[in-house]
Structure 1
Amino acid sequence: MWIEGDDQGVHSVGLNARQLAERFTPETIEALEALDYAALDALHDDLAELLADVLLDLDQEDESVDPAEEARYVGRPLPFDAAFPSTTTDFRSAFAEHVASLPARWRIDAAAVAFEMVGTVLRPRWEAARARRSATWRLSARRRRRSTSRSPRRR
């Protein structure tokens, strides 16, 4: 994470699915994948709140922010030594504790990585749920068209 002066804001480097997975142990990813849809969706919402809280805690207008120091971090992703420790239960607490344990510079990145990792696990489930809803709506529409086309018209 780095802060750009002149109200340019806070920046973080996004990671692809492979890079996200590198910041978690295989056991943690496997445990996330084993969660049911509702629990995973609730965790995703909790991590969105965690990310928002971390952003609110950051003072972008802190006068002590040194532009030269910030320039050293431009384009740098969350370092591997800030990767998440293995956890298989109580993800919300474990992830929040890990984020809080990191230097302030990396908290936004870590919270974003946790949020994105859970989103990556959720994505296929969201797509499947969306496909089921679409199929249900299409079937309902076909049935409705058939039932209205067969019934005699009232005058």
Structure 2
Amino acid sequence: MWFERDRRGVHSMGLDARGQRRYFTAETLAALEELSPADLIALHEALAELEADVLVEYDPDDAAIDHDEEDDFRMVEPPAEIAFPTVTSAFADAFAAHVASVPPRWRIDAAAVAFELVGTLADPHHVRARKRLSATWRLTARRRRRSRRVRRG
């Protein structure tokens, strides 16, 4: 995490799916993958709230911020020490407790990596739902076009 020199915000290093998984144990990943799509989406929403709550803790206008020091953290991946312990249930509470235990420098990164991982796991369900919705709309449109032609013809 680092503060921008323009005092416009706090930034966290974005990680790809492989990078996100490095911060979780195999048991936690397996338990998350067993969640239903609805539970994954609910967890993702809870983690979005957690990330927003953590962001409120940071004040980019704080005069005590040493921007030369902040440059040392720009685009730096979070350390392995923020890795989450094994969790197999009550994910939202366990993740929130872990994020609170992380040093403030890396707290937003911990919240973000949990949010991003759950979003990555939930994404295939979102894709299927969007395809299903799209197919339904196309079928409905075809039915409507045919029914109009029958009435006019």
Q: Report the TM-score, using the length of structure 1 for normalisation.
A: 0.92
Partner of 1:132: 132
The change in CA–CA distance for 1:138 and 1:61 in structure 2 (over 3 A counts) is same
User: Secondary structure of the equivalent of 1:6?
Assistant: coil
| Structure-to-structure mapping, 1:54-73, within 5 angstroms | 54-73=54-73
**Structure with greater Cα Rg:** 1
Paired residue total: 153
Please list every run of 5 or more consecutive structure 2 residues that lacks an aligned counterpart in the other structure.
Answer: none
Partner of 1:111: 111
Note the alpha carbon deviations across 1:89-134, whole angstroms, 9 max, x for none.
Answer: 0110011001000000001111110110000001111000000011
CA separation in 2, counterparts of 1:59 and 1:143? 55
User: Secondary structure of the equivalent of 1:63?
Assistant: coil
Q: CA RMSD for the aligned pairs?
A: 1.3
For residue 113 of structure 1, what is the amino acid of its counterpart?
V
For residue 140 of structure 1, what is the amino acid of its counterpart?
T
Partner of 1:18: 18
Please list every run of 5 or more consecutive structure 1 residues that lacks an aligned counterpart in the other structure.
Answer: none
Partner of 1:28: 28
Q: Report the TM-score, using the length of structure 2 for normalisation.
A: 0.94
Partner of 1:141: 141
* Percent of matched pairs sharing the same residue: 55
